[in-house]
Structure 1
């Protein structure tokens, strides 16, 4: 390997700090091999013969296209349908029951799934509402799903999945909502049209301002990639994005109590979730 393409410890530190400022994601030293590999791949793809050249382009490219491509390469997107299903049960049995007691009938109930990954979570929410929430016929529900990775958003919109992703989908639902396409399964057009996919960087305040007035947020297993400062900043943005009385669901290993005092802990029979107080404005 030519010396010019070797990424030094100093280079790694510079990149790590830059990427953290842009995304809130902080790569530990244990991720060094993964980071170096992705950087070298992008240096090759862009024809940059040294890290310095590539890093200069990354910082100053007017379009930001290479930064977005690198973000796509650096993010991990691995999930499956009905992951942590108990939170979906909590949504239909407890959360929505409480929301509709104070929600104006003239406004849609808005649910935000972030990060979207390849769409399993938002489509799973849509299926769960259709199958288990009888009140759906009386309420307009909007499901928005967002990710920082533009490539994975395109995959989500296409709604094509390998067998691993649908392994926990009950056979009747697989038959009802999917069609077999060779070795893959595509989710029905009705569900694809029911979810709106958008790009958002949760670490970017301007990005987050464009996502507002949600009643429920699912943000599972994202904050584990952030440090304490980024978690706190993101939690505050989610607080602002929720309507008063709205709820946020985190991953099973995440606790909002250790991140921010803004939310109230709610212990429902199905799950522990976090609520923006009704009186909050």
Structure 2
């Protein structure tokens, strides 16, 4: 039987302690510039990470601690309970903003601290300042900047997210595009595609409505700024919450269950071959052209007004006059762009070029 309790470090961070009940009293252990109280127990959880604690008789910090203490002490990453100073936060927030357009509010200091630790651990650096200096000294910063943006990006999504928008796409956008276009070419862009659920959902929607696009050249372009999520998306393997909204008939048709790991499902080749994944920084790279549909959902919320205008202005240049722009339910182009007009399709926020205002 175990017991669980909470303690706080001198930084104010709550530390969850899970341990076997023991008669040993709580003791003070140094952690960088501060110290925390932890129980001398078998297992300790700090910020959700399991570490093992040594049951030793010597007090940590003595001149000659036992070998047992040294071995377990190496497993305890006390940097986990530190966070960015305000000055460090401002430096990183500015760097992230300049490189990606992502605006980080002051309230995100703990979130940013937690995510930057991944790079500190990967590079074996001791402090956030060391990491910032490391980036500045690199002859070519581009690769590490990609890694930095990767760890700070939020990539939570799932198949058929906000399904009413996909219904609007199928019932309104697809029939309209198939009637008006004469070149028999359908191009869809998933901007900020994350781990691939959105573009693969779009591929399934196309395959379910191929009667509208017989003989058409179809291409779905999926882009993101985070290399790791693109690697994940290209594999096309999903489980758990990511696929829980997929209708049973769609699961049978477009997903293949893994024989060794039955909880994992791979996207079918028919859907996979329609989607091409590319790295793209929305503020530094050229946009794909001649788009009929653009999905950019829950992306603008990370940018300030200036970058939102720049982003939507770019969409206006590459979206066809007969095209559709789908954004997130919590997003709006009001006071951001005059290039698009709002139309309500099945209670979904959709925008079309202003030249089409009289069609709806």
> Per the alignment, in what secondary structure is the counterpart of residue 117 of structure 2?
helix
Q: 8 Å contact 1:130–1:136 — kept in the other structure? A: no
Q: Check 1:214–1:39 CA distance in 2 against 1; reply closer, same or farther (3 A cut).
A: same
Q: Distance in 1 between matches of 2:83 and 2:108?
A: 16
Query: Per-residue deviation at 1:39?
Result: 2.1
Q: Distance in 1 between matches of 2:129 and 2:347?
A: 52
Question: What do residues 238-260 of structure 1 show as CA deviations (whole Å, max 9, x unaligned)?
Answer: 11221223211001111112421
Partner of 2:52: none
Partner of 1:189: 269
Partner of 1:57: 134
Counterpart of 1:127 (choices 197, 204, 226) is 204
Quick check: which has more Rg, 1 or 2? Answer: 2
Query: Per-residue deviation at 1:210?
Result: 4.1
Matches within 5 A, 1:84-103: 84-103=162-181
Partner of 1:226: 303
Counterpart of 1:254 (choices 312, 318, 331) is 331
Partner of 1:78: 156
Query: Per-residue deviation at 1:146?
Result: 0.7
Structure 2 residues without counterparts, runs of 5 or longer? 1-30, 34-78
| Residue-pair matches, total | 275
Root mean square deviation, CA, Å: 2.1
Q: 8 Å contact 1:163–1:185 — kept in the other structure? A: no
Partner of 1:203: 283
TM-score, length of structure 1 as denominator length: 0.90
Kindly indicate whether residue 238 of structure 2 is the aligned counterpart of residue 161 of structure 1.
yes
User: Which is bigger in relative contact order (C-alpha 8 A, separation at least 6)?
Assistant: 1
Q: Distance in 2 between matches of 1:253 and 1:38?
A: 25
Q: Check 1:48–1:74 CA distance in 2 against 1; reply closer, same or farther (3 A cut).
A: same
> Per the alignment, in what secondary structure is the counterpart of residue 213 of structure 2?
helix
Q: Check 1:60–1:275 CA distance in 2 against 1; reply closer, same or farther (3 A cut).
A: farther
Query: Per-residue deviation at 1:133?
Result: 5.1
**Which structure shows the higher strand fraction?**
2
Q: Distance in 2 between matches of 1:270 and 1:90?
A: 9
Q: Which moved more, 1:14-23 or 1:1-10?
A: 1-10
Structure 1 residues without counterparts, runs of 5 or longer? none
Q: Distance in 2 between matches of 1:54 and 1:238?
A: 35
Question: What do residues 196-230 of structure 1 show as CA deviations (whole Å, max 9, x unaligned)?
Answer: 011111122xx1x2422111100111111111111
> Per the alignment, in what secondary structure is the counterpart of residue 168 of structure 1?
coil
> Per the alignment, in what secondary structure is the counterpart of residue 197 of structure 1?
strand
Q: Check 1:277–1:60 CA distance in 2 against 1; reply closer, same or farther (3 A cut).
A: farther
> Per the alignment, in what secondary structure is the counterpart of residue 257 of structure 1?
coil
Partner of 1:139: 216
